[in-house]
Amino acid sequence: MKIRQYQVDVFTHQVFRGNPAAVCPLDSWLSDKTLQAIAAENNLSETAFFVAIPAGYHLRWFTPVSEVDLCGHATLASAHVLFTILGYPGRVISFQTNSGVLTVEREGDRLIMNFPAMTPNSCDPPDLLIQGLGAAPIEVLAADDYLAVFADESDIRSLRPDFSTLSKLDKRGVCVTAPGLNCDFVSRFFAPKLGVPEDPVCGSAHCELTPYWSAKLRKNSLTARQVSRRGGELRCQMQGDRVNLSGQAVLFMEAVIHINHEELSS
């Protein structure tokens, strides 16, 4: 069996920046074991797989160690492949996912994703969170992830987390954030328990960051920058109980995966 695979750098307009995601269009679903093995072999934050259905596409995402219910950058990467390589003719793509129907709209050189908002709530900071970050935030909230708020962008850039300690927390991951010097807010995202010590640019974390900063700054449209080593930029907008997250993407690589029948059945 041969499977076409594309690697796309997301939330950037140039290769070697943003967040790389692998995208595999499929004619029909392979076993979960095979999908997970491909994602582990890629060893990227996410590998996305999609299959055409009457209402659009069924989309799933895998980290190197597990399937996840929501992923922003691999959704944008999948839309980029459909729009620019596979010739999708429409303006809006609908993806059926474990998080419901997600849409991606093409607008010029940007792609706009419509995702559910996940408003974080204040909580007491777990000891493991402070130990793992090596610094005490000024505020801690929780949704799918812990959201640790710091005073300055320099605080975010200087963090050197202990990933072993952070992996013991009960949430999916840890998002650290602060007001930005040249944007509304900056962030970094750590998910070591999912096999992703630091995600270069995490779209789904901005489903939590956007409602927090929208309320804090009293504005619906925000500019965001993830200040990982690779870095990436997003535009975020509140839409009721949804968020619009937009960014650019660029193709880095095309490849073919070769899998024989013995590997599929083993």
Active-site annotation, residues: 46
Q: How far is CA 10 from CA 91, 92, 217, in A?
A: 19, 18, 26
As a residue count, the chain comes to 266
Judged on CB neighbours under 10 Å (0-12, 13-18, 19+), 160 is: exposed
The count of other CB atoms within 10 Å of the CB of residue 92 is 13
SS3 55: coil
Determine the Cα–Cα distance for residues 249 and 227; give it in Å rounded to an integer: 17
